[in-house]
């Protein structure tokens, strides 16, 4: 299935059957002319040198992430690929409209499930995925957050299989990360290759912190009448996404707090400062629901703030994203997002889902069992590429032992056909070669939905790999949205 593709004399092997974002040979796709030309005329050694330069800069800035379970080097650099991924203006318009539509539907869904659950009553979504869902939060029933927004920040994972074929792989409605890479990757590219950016054809991404700040201000709690005090709540420097937490706090000029920095008194939330207690109104929390408040959730959590949930439900503080938002983003609920779009918005989905088999359904499970070698199986509550089976790449033994895992609780698994993910030219040891990519744009919901033109393009660096997660050897690329 592999054949040699040539962009230039530096080319290695690729999967000929996959859609190549840049195009192949003389047939360069719109928006990629400059990049194809640059690759063709630059020595491989120069490209590697620039790449090395980029790593040095990233390490100096400290753009690192921690990998769970790795004891040796607590911080690692996410591999940065020099060759950008490009969206033309019409491509972007469709993606933007699609993720905005999805954000509206997901927020309407979360609101609905914590109020009258009309979508369940209409028979569009089974109750087992709603009030029976592990992440359904009974405490949220009947509560309405400001502007009825629950998932203020949503990262939508998209893949592409052809010129016009985009699919949504999953929605991240809890604490999606990656935006700091989007901004840092762009800074890096503008520093290393200023010539590409002359003329302003590439849409800037650095407005994101302002938009996030605006969103946070718009959803201030009813108790706050003046200018709200904003903060980001982080689990601390040992968390994998700590760099991002501190980056965003820095960009917005707001406090980066840990659980111990906050306390609740008289139903209100306060920060401990060198000048005594200071009131906090809006918290972008990057801590999972379970750890948010030891009084409401896990009593052993040292990361959270006792009484925070009560203060939230009393309207004294706003939390982004709302606790219980996870009910909208697990891999089983995902199948029903197109239904949500039709049900709440009366529209047809702009971006389709990947067809998904629910192993909780006996017939679909039977199909999955019989066709395991052609499918990708994922845990409903899994993430980060952990615990998934890529059927075509797995050995017979791996498939058998995975089946045994599924047997005890089929409802915890979903399966999808293996997609021929698009590839993007990527700098590897031997040259420039096609590697599979995906894409995560970020939608911010406040008084309106705002999408920063760009997002995180992740690339699976090992040849043929489809797993783009940074925890599994994935890298990142700058993503260009062309304004014309």
Partner 1 sequence: MLSRVAENLFWFGRYFERLEHDARLLDAARRMSMMPVAETAAPSNEWSSVLVAAGGRRTFPGDIETAAAQEAVNHLVSDPSNPSSVFSCLKAARDNARAVRASLTTDVWEATNDARDEFRAMRMPSVNDGSLTDFIDWAKAKAARVRGAVEGTLARDDALQFIRLGWFVERADSTARILDVKYHLLLPSVREVGGGVDHYQWASLLQATGTLRTFQFVTHDHVNPKGVAAFLILQPKSPRSLRYSYSQIDAALGALEALYGERPACRSVVEEMLDRLLVDDIQIVLDAGLHEFLTDFISANYRVSDAIGASFGFGLQVTEAEANGAGPTKPSQ
Assess 55 for contact with partner 1 (CB under 8 A): no
Selected from 5, 15, 185, 258, the binder of partner 1 by CB under 8 A is 258
134-139 LR contacts (CB < 8 Å, sep 24+) = 134/381, 135/289, 135/324, 135/326, 135/327, 135/330, 135/381, 136/324, 136/327, 137/289, 137/323, 137/324, 137/327, 139/296, 139/309, 139/313, 139/323, 139/324
Assess 131 for contact with partner 1 (CB under 8 A): no
Stretch that binds partner 1, among 8-16, 41-49, 288-296, 312-320 (CB under 8 A): 288-296
Assess 256 for contact with partner 1 (CB under 8 A): yes
Quick one: which of 328, 329, 291, 330 has its CA closest to 309?
A: 291
Selected from 83, 169, 257, 467, the binder of partner 1 by CB under 8 A is 257
Stretch that binds partner 1, among 13-21, 193-201, 248-256, 401-409 (CB under 8 A): 248-256
Assess 35 for contact with partner 1 (CB under 8 A): no
Assess 135 for contact with partner 1 (CB under 8 A): yes
d(CA 92, CA 69): 37
Selected from 221, 294, 326, 391, the binder of partner 1 by CB under 8 A is 326
Quick one: which of 132, 158, 170, 134 has its CA closest to 331?
A: 170
Shortest approach of partner 1 to residue 246 CB, angstroms? 4
d(CA 404, CA 352): 31
Q: Which is nearer to partner 1, 46 or 260 (CB)?
A: 260
Selected from 14, 84, 209, 259, the binder of partner 1 by CB under 8 A is 259
Assess 184 for contact with partner 1 (CB under 8 A): no
CA 49 to chain centre: 30
Shortest approach of partner 1 to residue 253 CB, angstroms? 8
**Interface with partner 1 in residues 68-107 (CB under 8 A):** 68
> Which SS3 state, helix, strand or coil, does residue 288 take?
coil
Backbone angles phi, psi at 209, to 5 degrees: -60, -40
Check if the beta carbon of residue 403 is closer than 8 Å to that of residue 389: no
Q: What is the DSSP letter of 133?
A: S
Q: What is the DSSP letter of 79?
A: P
Assess 288 for contact with partner 1 (CB under 8 A): yes
d(CA 155, CA 215): 15
Query: Count of CB atoms within 10 A of residue 27's CB?
Result: 8
Q: Which is nearer to partner 1, 15 or 255 (CB)?
A: 255
Shortest approach of partner 1 to residue 59 CB, angstroms? 7
Selected from 238, 266, 346, 397, the binder of partner 1 by CB under 8 A is 238
Q: What is the DSSP letter of 29?
A: P
Selected from 31, 98, 145, 155, the binder of partner 1 by CB under 8 A is 155
Size of the site for partner 1 (CB under 8 A): 50
Assess 470 for contact with partner 1 (CB under 8 A): yes
Go through the chain and tell me how many residues it has: 484
Assess 389 for contact with partner 1 (CB under 8 A): no
Q: Indicate the helix (H) or strand (E) that contains 185.
A: helix 179-192
Assess 290 for contact with partner 1 (CB under 8 A): yes
Shortest approach of partner 1 to residue 296 CB, angstroms? 16
Which residues would be at the binding site for partner 1 (CB under 8 A)? 59-62, 68, 135, 155, 172, 174-177, 235-240, 242, 246-247, 249-250, 255-261, 271-275, 287-288, 290-291, 301-303, 326, 381, 383-385, 469-471
């Amino acid at each position: 299935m592999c054949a040699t593709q040539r962009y230039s004399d530096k080319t290695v092997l690729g999967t000929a059957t996959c859609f190549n974002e840049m195009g192949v040979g003389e047939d360069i796709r719109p928006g990629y002319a400059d990049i194809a030309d640059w690759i063709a005329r630059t020595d491989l050694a120069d490209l590697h040198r620039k790449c090395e330069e980029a790593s040095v800069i990233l390490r100096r800035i400290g753009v690192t992430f921690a990998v769970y379970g790795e004891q040796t080097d607590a911080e690692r650099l996410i591999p940065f690929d020099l060759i950008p991924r490009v969206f033309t203006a019409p491509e972007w318009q469709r993606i933007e409209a699609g993720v905005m539509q999805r954000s509206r539907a997901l927020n309407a869904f979360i609101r609905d499930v914590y109020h009258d659950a009309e979508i369940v009553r209409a028979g569009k979504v089974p109750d087992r995925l709603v009030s029976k869902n592990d992440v359904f939060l009974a405490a949220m029933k009947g509560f309405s957050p400001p502007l009825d927004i629950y998932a203020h920040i949503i990262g939508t994972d998209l893949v592409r299989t052809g010129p016009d074929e985009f699919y949504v792989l999953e929605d991240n409605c809890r604490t999606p990360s990656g935006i700091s890479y989007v901004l840092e990757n762009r800074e890096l590219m503008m520093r290393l290759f200023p010539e590409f950016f002359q003329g302003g054809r590439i849409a800037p991404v650095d407005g994101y912190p302002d938009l996030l700040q605006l969103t946070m201000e718009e959803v201030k709690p009813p108790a706050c009448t003046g200018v709200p005090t904003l903060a980001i709540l982080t689990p601390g420097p040992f968390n994998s996404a700590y760099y991002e937490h501190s980056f965003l706090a820095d960009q917005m000029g707001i406090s980066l707090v840990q659980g111990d920095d906050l306390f609740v008194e008289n139903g209100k939330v306060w920060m401990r400062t060198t000048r005594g207690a200071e009131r906090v109104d809006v918290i972008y929390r990057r801590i999972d629901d379970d750890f948010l408040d030891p009084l409401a959730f896990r009593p052993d959590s040292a990361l959270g703030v006792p009484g925070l949930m009560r203060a939230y439900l009393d309207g004294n503080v706003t939390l982004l994203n709302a606790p219980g938002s996870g009910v909208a983003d697990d891999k089983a609920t995902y199948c029903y997002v197109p239904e949500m779009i039709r049900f709440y918005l009366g529209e047809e989905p702009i971006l389709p889902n990947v067809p998904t088999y629910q192993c909780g359904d006996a017939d679909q499970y039977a199909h999955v069992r019989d066709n395991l070698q052609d499918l990708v199986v994922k845990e409903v509550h899994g993430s980060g590429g952990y615990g998934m089976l890529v059927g075509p790449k797995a050995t017979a033994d791996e498939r058998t032992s995975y089946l045994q895992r599924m047997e005890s609780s089929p409802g915890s698994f979903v399966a999808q056909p293996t997609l021929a993910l698009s590839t993007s030219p990527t700098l590897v040891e031997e040259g420039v070669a096609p590697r599979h990519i995906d894409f995560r744009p970020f939608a911010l919901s406040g008084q309106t939905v705002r999408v920063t033109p760009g997002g995180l393009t992740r690339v699976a660096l090992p040849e043929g790999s489809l797993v783009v997660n940074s925890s599994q050897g994935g890298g990142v690329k700058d993503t260009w949205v062309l304004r014309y």
